[in-house]
Every structure is written in structure tokens, then in C-alpha cells.
Amino acid sequence: MEPTGRPLLDRIGSAGAAVLSAAAGVVRWAVMAETAWLPALALIEPLHGLTFALLHLTCMRLLAQCVPRHLEATALTIYGTVGIGIATALLTLACGPIFERFGAHGFWAMAALCAGGRAGEKSHQVRIRKFA
């Protein structure tokens, strides 16, 4: 993990990191929905790195905790294909009609996805168990 990532995950835990990532996503997409002012966009751009990197590190930690060594490659393949690849492809396809209809206000849909992830994380405690 990155030098900053491990201490942050150790301090706030996987659930806290997921919530922080989602909250940063809400802020980022909300600002993008409401302004094209360059200084504002420059200030929120680092949140892109925070949201992706922190959530990715969280997922890597969770996989390391619950997947046996002999299934690590399979788990990473599924995560990369489904968790990142298919999700990104489907959201990209959905965004065309959203942005065609709503313009920049379509970014509110992205903020809602982040808020939904944050609410889902806070509404129940994730239980990690090791696969046999």
C-alpha cells in the first residue's frame, strides 16, 4: 500500500475508509454539478484520487482479509472485471443519456451514487468472514 494509505486504513478502518471515500465523492460530484469555475474545479480535482485510491485500497485490504491465498488471483480478477470494469462500462453508457438531458446537473446522479454507497455502508455493519 502507499505510505499514506496503510496508516490511514489502520486508523479509520475499512468501513471508515469506504465512508470517507463516498463522502469525498459526494462533494466532488456536487461541485462539478454546480459550477464550471476553474478554481473550484482545481480545488476538488484531488478528490478524484482520494475517492478512487482510498476505495481501491480498502477493497484490496478486504480481499486480503477474507480470501484464501490460493484464490487471490481469482478474487482480484473478479474485482477488476466486475467491480471496476463492468461497473465503469455500465455507468459510462448510462451517463450519455443523463448528461444529454441534464447537462452538468447530471453530475448529481454521480453524487447520489456516492451518497447511496455511504448510506449503505453506514446503515449496516459489514461482516467479513474468511472463505474456506
State the CB neighbour count (10 A cutoff) for residue 82: 10
- pTM of the entire predicted model: 0.81
Q: What are the distances in angstroms from CA 118 to CA 1, 6, 24, 82, 115?
A: 23, 21, 10, 20, 5
Please give the Cα distance from 122 to 7 (Å, whole number).
22
Q: For 6-18, b where at least 16 C-beta lie within 10 A, e where not — what string?
A: eebbeeeebeebb
Per-residue pLDDT of 86-125, as tens digits, reads: 999 999 999 999 999 999 999 999 999 999 876 555 544 4
